[in-house]
Copies of this chain bind each other. A is one copy, B any other.
Amino acid sequence: MQLTHLDEKNHPTMVDVSQKEQTTREAVASGVIRVSSEAYKAVKENSAKKGPVLQTAVIASIMGAKETSRLIPMCHPLLLSSIKTDIEELEESCAFKLWVKVKLNGQTGVEMEAMMGVSVGLLTIYDMLKAIDKGMVIENIQLESKMGGKNGDFRR
């Protein structure tokens, strides 16, 4: 088993993708933040008016996805062609589930961009609610699906 980011001297390396095919690639990731019922209500009542907690999270999520190659040391800079988000309100469990879908025409996948978008979006929800509840937990950040590239598709 060879870790693809490690060269023969065991130094990290940004792997060579120059020979990989330029194809349409897509990745979807998701994650959840569980909050107190008080915090959940605060978001809901607010979003009944103008919803800025979730709006702010969506914007942070998109901007965060664009920063991936600057934050994850071995990620390639990429020309993302689309970033879309969705937020599910899981009322019974007082949670929000954030989905991020990223598209690219390029030589490497966009899993990390989708995962980063989810992470930054959920952290933003945490930030905007932490005056009410510091015990919130971010859970299940995971890749949902991946299309394109020679290694085949992935679906959880």
Contact = CB atoms under 8 A, between A and B. Distances in A.
Contacts of A137: 140-142
Contact of A128 (B3, B82, B154): B3
Contacts of A15: 82
A107 B53 CA distance: 23
Contact of A139 (B10, B24, B77, B140): B140
Nearest to A108: B81
Interface string A94-112: 0000000001111100011
Contacts of A71: 60, 63-64, 67, 120, 123
How many of chain A's residues touch chain B, expressed as a range?
Answer: 35 or more
A107 B84 contact: no
B70 A67 contact: yes
Nearest to A1: B42
Given A17-B82, A46-B3, A70 B66 contact: yes
Contacts of A84: 7, 13-14, 16
A15 to B, nearest CB: 7
Contacts of A66: 69-70, 77
10 contacts: A5-B53, A6-B52, A6-B53, A12-B56, A60-B73, A66-B70, A74-B127, A76-B81, A139-B141, A141-B141
Given A50-B50, A63-B73, A134-B146, 16 more contacts: A3-B128, A5-B53, A5-B128, A6-B52, A13-B62, A14-B84, A17-B81, A31-B138, A52-B55, A63-B63, A71-B120, A136-B142, A137-B140, A137-B142, A138-B142, A139-B139
